[in-house]
Structure 1
């Protein structure tokens, strides 16, 4: 359990997830956006379930089934609840519902992503627009909540200055996802992508800053590393501090595979030109297709055409996507009305 405190805190926010970075960053990013608007204390709780019960339906899970290593999320008798509860992911759902139905003194319960379970029982659901979720308690945003802010990426760039400063411009951040229910990255496709990226960067005398996902297939990862290591830059091997935020901050262009709502939204929040790298579709008409079209239609990204001409419709950058901040403002308005 981690605490992020503000000396003049007036709100107590509990963030509840299974601790995986991509999941936790959604709830934490929303909590931090609230904290930027109003003094608050953020408590980070990581929860899990005993292996025998992990795959059980949420409706059947009981608190005693939690993994003993989990943080104590539900307060014991006599201990007050937080003011706001923000949770993300399937593992959090049974506990979020208990918080939402706890009676007097309970927290304002916010679930990010589509819970796909008793959605109307939560006080607020912050869901990606491409999920198509609707309801009186639903706020739809383009992409997912995240932790990207100008201050955070500037701090990260400074922390990695010794590695980044020598890299020639234009610097191209390359954010690679991997296999999912909707997309795949087979070896032949990875080869084509790597060669196209290498040729485009070489043509402008630039450099790459490459990070891969846990979902990147090993064969594709090996191909990308081998073919992009000959390009000036930095291919991060997953060792040491993660330079992901620094790559976004130092980039003149961002390349991101189209399989990740998180990475696409985070890249679009920087104001840099963002280019979508195609993946092999495993399922036609997926929600990621809807996200892709929304990002393109709003001028936030464009499909990668193998060039870096420095412009998006004549501009060197785009208007940063600020959906996390918008969601935080709406959350506080709903919270204030709920408390009134």
Structure 2
């Protein structure tokens, strides 16, 4: 929305409820869009149990007076916007939409697996198949690495990162999931590749995830022990935001979609390490980013890493702009509702 837009001032600072299942990745997606809109977030963590959790997202809610100790009763004053991400949050936003009606603009991030009327707008990544009049898609998922945040992080590098030689390569390591697995040969190939990169004199910044097998983490740590590198072992403050901001390029495992999306906000080269396995959905995701020019396969051990650039992908901004445009249409058609928010 432009500065001359009569609704721009009204939008800034309006309340946005975020129904959250507590997963950090889900909250980061919603917060990225909320922050891009300039809204004031109110996170409402849910905890469905028993049969109600089992039948989510399709089923109803239990009594709102009893669920979550009564903390999530849906009652006025209604927020201007509401967001939900994750299977067990969908019954809440559907119930809110029924109760608040047009007073609240509802958004679901990721395919809810329910009907299109579950929210006013549904966002899905481009590699998902869902499409429709109230469905939008982007190549990458929204996150909190906005241009402004990256600029702020880039002003000062922490001493451990500033001391590394360049190019600095952020190595973001995931692990087995429902689609990928790490064979002994996969692990050895990854360990040897990072070890030879470290020996070549580049600065490696390595972080593993909760899915990384401990044996693989130990081997990676050992392979770079004699080189100038920063291996985060989980102690102290998480350096991940600074890894993203200060990396000249990235090595990311193919199972790590969210980390790939965050790295793509920098416009810097991303090399994808593919373990065994995969799926059609993962293949569509990686093909889309490769076609865009953001990613390339990680070369075999010992081969040099080329450099290139591309236009950074900031999906939170794209999604926020579409939400603002559609909300404005409603505001222009129903000015009485908008005035009531002032």
TM-score by length of 1: 0.86
Pairing 1:233–2:229 present: yes
Give 1:308 deviation, angstroms. 4.4
Pairing 1:303–2:303 present: no
8 Å Cα contact 1:176/1:216 also seen in 2 = yes
Cα 1:73–1:9, aligned 2, differ >3 Å: closer, same or farther? farther
Q: Select the residue among 135, 138, 146 that pairs with 1:138.
A: 135
Pairing 1:330–2:333 present: no
Unmatched 5+ stretches in structure 2: 1-8, 334-342
Cα 1:289–1:244, aligned 2, differ >3 Å: closer, same or farther? same
1:85-111 Cα deviation digits (max 9, x unpaired) = 111111211101111211445411100
Name the SS for the 2:319 alignment partner.
helix
8 Å Cα contact 1:157/1:245 also seen in 2 = no
8 Å Cα contact 1:187/1:223 also seen in 2 = no
Give 1:331 deviation, angstroms. 0.9
Pairing 1:148–2:151 present: no
Cα 1:187–1:17, aligned 2, differ >3 Å: closer, same or farther? farther
Give 1:51 deviation, angstroms. 5.5
After superposition, the CA RMSD in angstroms is 2.5
| Distance in 1 separating the partners of 2:293 and 2:202 | 24
Name the SS for the 1:58 alignment partner.
coil
| Distance in 2 separating the partners of 1:336 and 1:202 | 55
Please name the residue that 1:102 is paired with.
99
Name the SS for the 2:55 alignment partner.
coil
Please name the residue that 2:272 is paired with.
276
Cα 1:28–1:275, aligned 2, differ >3 Å: closer, same or farther? same
1:154-178 Cα deviation digits (max 9, x unpaired) = 4445676122111111111001111
- After the TM superposition, which of the residue ranges 144-153 and 220-229 deviates more from structure 2? 220-229
Q: Select the residue among 3, 9, 16 that pairs with 1:13.
A: 16
Pairing 1:293–2:281 present: no
8 Å Cα contact 2:194/2:220 also seen in 1 = no
Pairing 1:31–2:38 present: no
Pairing 1:178–2:172 present: no
| Distance in 1 separating the partners of 2:110 and 2:33 | 12
| Distance in 1 separating the partners of 2:163 and 2:10 | 39
User: Which residues in structure 2 correspond to 1:79-228 (within 5 Å)?
Assistant: 79-104=76-101, 106-156=103-153, 161-203=158-200, 205-228=201-224
Please name the residue that 2:336 is paired with.
none
Pairing 1:50–2:42 present: no
1:264-303 Cα deviation digits (max 9, x unpaired) = 111111111111111211x5x4211001111111111111
| Distance in 1 separating the partners of 2:60 and 2:34 | 26
Please name the residue that 2:6 is paired with.
none
8 Å Cα contact 2:52/2:62 also seen in 1 = no
Name the SS for the 1:54 alignment partner.
helix
8 Å Cα contact 1:157/1:164 also seen in 2 = no
| Distance in 1 separating the partners of 2:184 and 2:147 | 36
| Distance in 2 separating the partners of 1:308 and 1:153 | 27
Give 1:41 deviation, angstroms. 1.5
Cα 1:7–1:333, aligned 2, differ >3 Å: closer, same or farther? closer
| Distance in 2 separating the partners of 1:335 and 1:198 | 51
1:85-138 Cα deviation digits (max 9, x unpaired) = 111111211101111211445411100011112233210011000012101110
Total equivalences in the alignment: 321
Give 1:53 deviation, angstroms. 4.5
| Distance in 2 separating the partners of 1:197 and 1:146 | 27
Cα 1:10–1:322, aligned 2, differ >3 Å: closer, same or farther? closer
| Distance in 2 separating the partners of 1:157 and 1:90 | 36
Name the SS for the 1:180 alignment partner.
coil
